[in-house]
Chains A and B, each alone.
Chain A
């Protein structure tokens, strides 16, 4: 068994490495657009991982997870809109720190309130209620005419993470070109133009690496949560709630906390999405998006840490290839979903595990 789990760990590391490097290799092969696809893949993997924290650890099938993506995205869109076109000075800003703070607090608050209500129920009720609350956010965003309503809002530039006080002056302002020191009669030193590498999210490669680093961070926290006391209580409550209660632990507060954490992570992916697409719209919150997220988690396999990453990868790549083949690509997609649910127990990782254990 130990050997098998080492293989899995190595396989997981390999998978992440492949995801990290593929766009660079593709660039080398002259296909730079793969960076775009993989950025989307990584962002969706973050969202799917946050959902799997709810689903696989706590056993909470939230079908309204897209709401948090929307909230996180609008927490970028609205401040940038105000900063660009004026209005609401307390909200307006290009600062990424502010966008993150806003997105995280709004998502946490929304998760706290809706979680407090929906966690009072179980099973189908819970599924439908989370769905209904996300629909509420959808209609709220559609109702916000100022921010484009149905049509959404374009985000003019990516969140700015430079700290104004610490920002390094450019090489020119240090006066590097005047270094030829003519008084010493030395031949002029032709310094190459020195400039700092542009650490800005506007740079697609930097943005991709930031997304990837955040994915690693989320995966790390999810795995820590899974093996913590907190995570064990959640898993125990998922398997047998009565026993946990008999031990004097009320799972409600644990579930509420994990609901908030998952909401914040999904909000983080929404923050990245707004920056990725330069666009936010209510369609990000449609329940079918939540359904797709759920599909990624199930497709990859619920029981494993990297299941959602596998699911998101397969989802994004399939979508890419199928939609190039035909406009009717939802048909094979729907069939695949049906097949996975009816026949593929444990998702892709589950199938791989079964193979390696035989």
Chain B
């Protein structure tokens, strides 16, 4: 076994897992607290990337790009929550899904109108372009940054939800929102803030990956389904579940794509392994989901009953 390769893939898996966590944290929060299922989360992922790309090119600074993207997604999330989403809290999930699907169509076309059909690449600042050597292991510096920032955000989120007053309200809202509003808490304000928080996290995910993949129209539309798989496996409404499941899926997907053909080759011909491996590794994540569902339909860490 080539340990350098394994370690490299482990870092890739960690990176994918963190990206998935940034997306699914918002999804699972909005579902747990507002009982809202939001496809347009994918659009905030894309918008974060596009605003960051545009601002980075305009101001010639990645840092300003990040600040603009965070503020931009927060502002957009505020507008969308007030104009559309707030009417959807009382609707059933199908209505929410369709309306937010409509929002995706609008957002995708809006980006097309503003920035054109082609993607936008984000140039990285000089210090982030290099590579970091750790013994035999060579890792692009920017990937390490993604992992570091992602872990930092996950830790902050843990602190926010478990150690602060705002987090207390979030947890209370998740377990019983009627009680919360009876106690004189402004639930509407809480909902809006949580929605904005989720959108900003998604936007951060988008802008972090954009320098690698570039910002493109509909870039969030596929990964959002994987984020759904994450929160199904983790248990809908649970941040801890989202974190564990995101890393699990990140690793399984990455290792499956990298090593499944060699594993298959142990017990079948190399040709057959090379044909079967890509197809099987592509569906590995969904097989995992199916297994978890057979075993625990409510996911690994279902939130406590209301």
Whether A335 lies near B102 (C-beta < 8 A) is: yes
Question: Which of B101, B110, B283 has the most A CB atoms < 10 Å from its CB?
Answer: B101
- A132-B232 contact in complex given A124-B31, A287-B225, A330-B108, C-beta closer than 8 Å: yes
B-side contacts of A123, CB under 8 Å: 93
Chain A nearest Cβ from B218, distance in angstroms: 9
- A120-B221 contact in complex given A291-B101, A337-B99, C-beta closer than 8 Å: no
B-side contacts of A124, CB under 8 Å: 31, 37, 93, 236
Question: Which of B87, B91, B95, B286 has the most A CB atoms < 10 Å from its CB?
Answer: B286
A-side contacts of B93, CB under 8 Å: 61, 123-124, 127
Interface positions of B from 273 to 296, Cβ below 8 Å from A = 275, 278-279, 281-283, 286-287, 289-290, 293-294
A-side contacts of B108, CB under 8 Å: 330
- A337-B101 contact in complex given A121-B293, A129-B293, A328-B112, C-beta closer than 8 Å: yes
Whether A127 lies near B279 (C-beta < 8 A) is: no
**In the complex, A342→B221 CA distance in Å?**
23
Whether B228 lies near A142 (C-beta < 8 A) is: no
Among A135, A327, A334, contact of B286 (Cβ-Cβ < 8 Å): A135
Question: Which of A124, A135, A291, A342 has the most B CB atoms < 10 Å from its CB?
Answer: A124
Among B94, B109, B113, B278, contact of A127 (Cβ-Cβ < 8 Å): B94
A133 at the interface (CB under 8 A from B): yes
A161 at the interface (CB under 8 A from B): no
Chain B nearest Cβ from A145, distance in angstroms: 7
B-side contacts of A55, CB under 8 Å: 94
Q: Which residue of A lies closest to B281 (CB)?
A: A143
Question: Which of A328, A331, A338 has the most B CB atoms < 10 Å from its CB?
Answer: A338
Number of residue pairs A-B, CB distance < 8 angstroms = 130
A-side contacts of B94, CB under 8 Å: 55, 61, 127, 294, 298
Among B39, B98, B278, contact of A298 (Cβ-Cβ < 8 Å): B98
Chain A nearest Cβ from B79, distance in angstroms: 14
Interface string of A328-358 (1 = CB under 8 A from B): 1011011111101110000000000000000
Interface string of B80-100 (1 = CB under 8 A from A): 000010010001011101110
Interface positions of A from 113 to 141, Cβ below 8 Å from B = 114, 117-118, 120-121, 123-125, 127-129, 131-133, 135-136, 139-140
Whether A120 lies near B293 (C-beta < 8 A) is: yes
A-side contacts of B101, CB under 8 Å: 288, 291, 294-295, 337
Whether B297 lies near A120 (C-beta < 8 A) is: yes
**In the complex, A139→B275 CA distance in Å?**
14
Whether B293 lies near A118 (C-beta < 8 A) is: yes
Q: Which residue of B lies closest to A133 (CB)?
A: B286
Chain A nearest Cβ from B266, distance in angstroms: 20
Interface positions of A from 316 to 332, Cβ below 8 Å from B = 327-328, 330-331
Chain A nearest Cβ from B144, distance in angstroms: 29
**In the complex, A115→B98 CA distance in Å?**
22
A63 at the interface (CB under 8 A from B): yes
A216 at the interface (CB under 8 A from B): no
Question: Which of B226, B231, B290 has the most A CB atoms < 10 Å from its CB?
Answer: B290
Residues of A in contact with B (beta carbons under 8 Å apart): 55, 61, 63, 114, 117-118, 120-121, 123-125, 127-129, 131-133, 135-136, 139-140, 142-146, 286-288, 291, 294-295, 298, 327-328, 330-331, 333-338, 340-342
19 further contact pairs, Cβ within 8 A, besides A120-B297, A135-B225, A295-B98? A114-B290, A117-B293, A124-B31, A125-B236, A132-B232, A133-B286, A135-B222, A140-B279, A142-B282, A143-B278, A143-B283, A144-B279, A288-B221, A328-B109, A330-B105, A331-B106, A334-B103, A337-B98, A341-B95
